Amino acid sequence: MRRIWAALTTTAFTAAALTGCGLGSGDTKNSDSVASAAATGEVKGKVSLQTWALKPKFTDYMQGVIDGFKKKYPGVEVEWLDQPGEGYSDKVLSQAAAGTLPDVVNLPPDFALPLAKKDLLLDVAKADAKLADEYVPGGVDAYRYAGLPGTFGYPWYLNTDVNYWSSDLLTKNGLDPKKPPTTLDELIAQARVMKDRSGGQAYLMSRKPGIGDFYNAGVKIMSDDGRTFTFNTPEAAALLDKYRDAFKAGLLPNDVLTNTYAGNSKLFNAGTVAWTTAGANYITSLATDNPTLAPKVVPSPAMATPPLYVQGLSIPKGTKNPAAALALARWVTSAENQAAFAHLTSIFPSTKASADDPFFSRSDGTNAGDAKVIAFNSLAKAKLIQPVQVDDAMSTIVNQQIALAMSGDASSKQALDTAVEQCNKLLKG
């Protein structure tokens, strides 16, 4: 009897486990039928919208946008969900796995890719023929993926990086804030001056190079089909060598080896480091963290091709109300609503119609206003530098190997080879 029970239990668990494993496929809805329903259906009923960390700062703005939508389409009901900044990817992942994604979801391109691969997102270009005409190419391209036909999101707001310099620290250490370095070699030369003058108490450089730096050094990061990483080139190794030598000469603090991207701006906020890169809104937020430093910050354009950061709205293919979802995504990302959003904070609209808005090209004379104009002008040449295929685990591995090369425990070539090999394994697995 015991044996029978044991066998039955084992069978039940195995069967349940295999089912839980999700060995089946994703959403089976036909893409064309959903796109057609979205394009031609009547905008009515209930529709849900999920944003990322907009409450409480932008509650009034978003509520205004939603009220405007309800006014335009009477009878439609919008449920707005705003998720906290931390753990958003896990939230989206659990929603996607459970099939409970809201009708319209804020997804940056790297979050949208795995969902698109699983056929969970609607190809919005199929449902909206005007998409490419109304939104800037960089924004639209961010939601097009190699080997995956379609456009899987409406580009929403854009941003890029600006260089920020602490004029106090530069002046105090014999450097001219009006002549910031424009190349890596100039940066290293000025970092040396800073170290010598400050006796090692202040730094100019405080971040490891990353994939963006390799890109700017002319290195091809990925194969065209998006299936292999290729950044273990002699050019990338030469760039890493420069950083390793600078680190060895004490031009960067020790903890740069384990610091993440944000570590650099933390040191800048603390007044230990004279250079950081951040979005156009940085000085405004610095005014809260370090009000003494904020007025003394001088912005300048990024050194080479600036990175393009895109936020967008995607529509799950499983939506029960595709017409309202499409209309809502279009409404939230419309030129008018994006411009209103951009007037509240330093982000930039992804709509072509907003390009001529003088608000973005004119500074109010403050350093924050200058940063906004620099960022706006930089957007024209900004590119999605880091491939969307790079996930958290890959970023960690690349960071670890770059740190290893900088510490001198591995050659640059060795470290890059390891990083590429491990990332390729993850990409294929």
Partner 1 sequence: MTHRRWFTPWLLAGPAIVWLAVFNLWPAVNTVILSFTNAKPLGGGQFTGLENYGRLLDDEQLADALLNSIVFMLVCLPLLTVLPLLLALLVQRRIPGITFFRTAFYTPVIASAVVVALIWGWVLDDRGLVNGVLQQSGLTDSPVSFLTGRWLLLFSAIALTVWKGLGYYMVIYLSALANVPPELHEAAAVDGAGPVSRFRHVTLPGVRPTMVLISALISVSSLRVFSELYVLSHGQGGPGGRDMSVVMLIQMYSRGFNGHLGYASALSLLLFVVTLGPMLFLMRLNRKAA
Restricted to residues 99-158, the positions that interact with partner 1 (CB under 8 A) are: 111, 113-115, 118, 120
CB of 403 to partner 1, least distance (A): 4
- By the rule CB under 8 A, 417 interacts with partner 1: no
Q: Report, in Å, the least distance between residue 258 CB and partner 1.
A: 5
Q: Taking CB under 8 A as the rule, does residue 410 contact partner 1?
A: yes
Residue 400 binds partner 1, judged by CB under 8 A? yes
x/- letters, 372..391, toward partner 1 (CB under 8 A)? -------------------x
Work out how close the CB of 77 gets to partner 1 at its nearest, in angstroms, rounded to a whole number. Answer: 29
The β-bridge partners of 308 are 160
- Are 221 and 215 within 8 A, CB to CB? yes
Q: Build a one-symbol-per-residue string for 15-34: x at contacts with partner 1 by CB under 8 A, - elsewhere.
A: -xxx-xxxxxxx--------
Which one of 69-77, 236-244, 254-262, 296-304 is the stretch in contact with partner 1 (CB under 8 A)?
254-262
| Helix orientation angle between 392-407 and 234-248, rounded to the nearest 10 degrees | 60
Give dist(CA 343, CA 280) in Å, integer: 13
The single-letter code of the amino acid at 419 is: A
Measured from the CB atom, the residue of 115 and 286 that comes closer to partner 1 is 115
Interface segment toward partner 1; rule CB under 8 A; list 58-66, 129-137, 167-175, 402-410: 402-410
What 3-state DSSP class applies to 155? strand
State the first-to-last Cα distance of the chain, in angstroms, to the nearest integer: 43
> How are beta strands 162-166 and 45-52 bridged, if at all?
unpaired
176 contributes a contact to partner 1 by CB under 8 A? no
Closest residue by Cα to residue 405 from 422, 418, 421, 394: 418
Indicate the residue among 230 and 272 with the shorter CB distance to partner 1.
272
Omega before 56 within 30 of 0, i.e. cis = yes
**Judged by CB under 8 A, does residue 259 bind partner 1?**
yes
Q: Hey, is 124 helix, strand or coil?
A: helix
CA–CA gap between residue 418 and residue 411 (Å, rounded):
11
Place of tokens 């899987």: 152
Work out whether 423 is an interface residue with partner 1 (CB under 8 A): no
Q: Which is nearer to partner 1, 31 or 345 (CB)?
A: 31
In the bound state with partner 1, the residue whose beta carbon lies nearer, of 89 and 290, is 89
Distance CA 180, CA 175 (A): 8
Is the four-CA dihedral 244, 269, 265, 87 of positive or negative sign? positive
Q: Which of 345, 407, 411, 424 binds partner 1 (CB under 8 A)?
A: 407
DSSP, collapsed to helix, strand or coil, labels residue 53 as: coil
Q: What backbone torsions phi and psi does residue 24 show, to the nearest 5 degrees? A: -85, -170
User: Of residues 373, 406, 416, 423, which one binds partner 1 by CB under 8 A?
Assistant: 406
Q: Considering the rule CB under 8 A, would residue 269 count as an interface residue with partner 1?
A: no
CA angle 117, 126, 106 (to 5 degrees): 55
Assess 74 for contact with partner 1 (CB under 8 A).
no
Q: How far is the CB of 91 from partner 1 (least distance, A)?
A: 12
Q: Which two tokens stand for residue 388?
A: 């969307």
Cross-sheet strand order for the sheet of 308-314: 76-83, 45-52, 104-106, 308-314, 154-160, 348-349
Binding mask 181-220 for partner 1 (x = CB under 8 A): -------------------x--------------------
Q: Which two tokens stand for residue 165?
A: 């310099």
Q: Is 285 in the site for partner 1 (CB under 8 A)?
A: no
Positions that interact with partner 1 (CB under 8 A)? 13-14, 16-18, 20-26, 89-90, 92-93, 96-97, 111, 113-115, 118, 120, 200, 250, 253-255, 257-260, 263, 272, 391-393, 396-397, 399-401, 403-404, 406-407, 409-410, 415, 426, 429
